Amino acid sequence: MDLQTLTYLVVGASFALYIGIAIWARAGSTSDFYVAGGGVHPVTNGMATAADWMSAASFISMAGLISNMGYGGGLFLMGWTGGYVLLAMLLAPYLRKFGKFTVPQFIGDRFYSKTASTVAVLCLLTASITYIIGQMTGVGVAFSRFLGVSNEVGIYVGMGIVFMYAVFGGMKGITYTQVAQYMVLILAYTVPAVFISLQLTGNPLPQLGLGSDIAGTSVSLLDKLNLVVKDLGFSEYTSSVPGSYLNMFVYTMSLMIGTAGLPHVIVRFFTVPKVKDARSSAGWALVFIAILYTTAPAVAAMAKLNLIATTNTAVGLERSADGRMVTNAEAIMANKDLYAADASLVYEERPGWMKRWEQTGLLKWEDKNGDGRIQYYNDKSKNADAVAKAEQAGWKGNELTVNADIIVLANPEIALLPNWVIALVAAGGLAAALSTAAGLLLAISSAVSHDLVKNVFVPDLSEKGELMTGKVAMAGAIVVAGYLGLNPPGFAAGTVALAFGIAASSLFPAIMMGIFSKKMNKEGAIAGMLAGLFITLFYVFAHKGIFFIKGTDYLGLIGGANSFFGITPEAFGAIGALVNFAVAFIVDKVTKEPPEHIQALVESVRIPRGAKAVDGSHAH
């Protein structure tokens, strides 16, 4: 069976499964719609949380980023995983003890203010909408490559699928759909990794294969990769750092606390019966997440080596008679000249996977020296020897541009794995994007229907009316998400790190202070959230060249690109969080402290015994 037909069958079967589950588990009440009735088993919730958490960024982009960045890309692993631990240990049990539906509802009741709740909704919508752009873009990439349709058609189909199981199923439908999506995405991620690890190292476990010798040699995979990338002018794979160590640290912190502040993940802990179950489901989710996250570094390194080996015959990896990637021990030990006249691949002889990915625009070749061969190296390298060797060989600059987002999706094709594996990867990429998109859409829907319409505008709205409002809000959010996926704004395109920065700078400090500082008042919380949000957005917009007033040089005001101690815009969320905390505590000191019943509420929330809901019943 040809690849196209097989892909349609596998992806179609996965979609049918998701829709079938949604029909079976459709929401009949607001409790079902917002928190799946509060009766989800901890293991089930752990698996659903893992799927909700592992977005298109985790499945599609993370290994690509690590592949490009090397050791420095580990900040995504450390930041996202560390943030999940932070969420599980510091926030989840206490929020479950509080026992409400949404993060803005916690903030509104804790800070005894509808204004605080409304500001939290603003922060939630900004973070969630920014994050969802990446999910819809991922859906478009996967559809356009594997199903032979345009990026636009792919996004429209993705919108339709999410609409069918998210609007009708609510959190109840989404929860059980995400369990199925986790199974699809984890198989799609690990099966190709096992194949490729076996090919390159003979070890079926990618996590161990990463540190093993290349099959038939005494050279470790990472040593060989270091040697190759250094010779081609790139930074050493196992020691590269993006920017400065300070930026790497701040970036990691931003991802960590941003993770802990993401509302679509937090709300999952409201779906279990007891506080004990919230802790248990957090532990299970970490296990399910670790399966993918410990595999990602191996996928990244092996894909990098295979990609370079495909374009440069001197790397010492070659194809066997059946097309599999195998080793050439003699070439590895001799370390052939990577810049030899016949080292680079003849463009007309490029493999089929390159031709297919060229059609998506995510892989491009430009023959700069007119020799008809593909030269792939770092022509802007600080390694003068590498550049000199390339120029001596007649190379006129790097000719191959590879988008980081294709590394995981193209990996099975680069390694010439069977068609069913490639089809499985397509289904996995779509499962990852759709599962997180559904979680984000539910967070947006509940914020609009429950925290704005019900809490602010129509307090006497019936349960039936609120459920309908939630579904309408969900449908509207899907339309907005699809539009932004089709027309991504320049400041958010290509990164979800901004969403984490927004959550880190606005929601995380408010939640932390709400749980652990009984003296923090509503004025401090509101001022902190607004300060953290706007300083982060300002820094990002200034760096991206988006100005609020035409002709105003905001870059000049902050001293130029990355001027704040070399911190990149994507890493600035941690600085925004510090501003949030500082402003909140300063304002708190000069305003009235919270009422006694609110301080008693904080004491009650902070002792997570039992699952009885607590609230500020005298809030106004």
485 located within any domain: yes
Cα gap 137→509, rounded to integer Å: 30
End residue of a domain, out of 414, 440, 456: 414
Examine the domain organization and report whether 174 and 206 are in the same domain. yes
Burial of 559 (0-12, 13-18, 19+ CB in 10 A): exposed
Residue 113 lies in a domain: yes
464 belongs to a structural domain: yes
CB 129 within 8 A of CB 480: yes
CA-based nearest residue to 119, from 518, 457, 451, 449: 451
Domain identity same for 424 and 409: no
Dihedral sign (CA 499, 134, 83, 614): positive
Please say whether the beta carbons of 532 and 210 come within 8 A. no
Low-confidence ranges of the chain (pLDDT < 70): 101, 318-335, 489-495, 544-563, 607-620
Same domain, 322 and 337: yes
Do 294 and 154 have their domain in common?
yes
DSSP string, 69-129: HGGGGHHHHHHHHHHHHHIIIIIHHHHHHHT-S-HHHHHHHHTT-HHHHHHHHHHHHHHHH
Spell out a b/e string for 91-118, using b for 16 or more CB atoms within 10 Å of the CB, else e: bbbbbbbbbbbbbbbbbbbbbbbbebbb
348 and 255, same structural domain? no
Residues 372 and 490 in one domain: no
Identify whether 307 is part of a domain. Answer: no
Classify residue 612: in a domain, yes or no: no
Domain shared by 401 and 492, yes or no = no
Note whether 107 and 223 are same-domain residues. Answer: yes
Using alpha carbons only, what angle is made at residue 297 by residues 485 and 199, rounded to the nearest 5 degrees?
110
Q: Are residues 81 and 110 in the same domain?
A: yes
CATH number at residue 205: 1.20.1730.10
Q: Examine the domain organization and report whether 66 and 193 are in the same domain.
A: yes
Q: What is the DSSP letter of 163?
A: I
Residue 191, CA distances (Å) to 138, 187, 545, 579 in order: 20, 6, 42, 44
Residue 616 included in any domain: no
Q: Which of 169, 246, 76 is nearest to 471 (CA)?
A: 169
State the residue range of the domain holding 243. 3-300+418-606
Please identify, among 384, 414, 444, the residue that sits at the C-terminal boundary of a domain. Answer: 414
Q: What is the pLDDT of residue 329?
A: 62
Residue that terminates a domain, selected from 386, 414, 442: 414
* Domain assignment of residue 184, yes or no: yes
First to last CA, the chain: 65
Number of domains in the chain: 2
Q: Which of 425, 381, 377, 367 is nearest to 398 (CA)?
A: 377
What gap in Å lies between CA 64 and CA 134, rounded to an integer?
15
Among candidate residues 540, 477, 459, 499, the one with its CA nearest the CA of residue 123: 499
Q: Which pLDDT score is estimated for 204?
A: 94
Can you read off the two tokens belonging to residue 543? Answer: 């760096």
CB atoms within 10 A of CB 452: 21
Q: Is residue 579 included in any domain, yes or no?
A: yes
Residue 372 sits in the same domain as residue 423: no
Widest CA span of the chain, in angstroms?
80
* Pair 118, 202 in one domain: yes
* Alpha carbons 535 and 531: distance in angstroms, whole number: 6
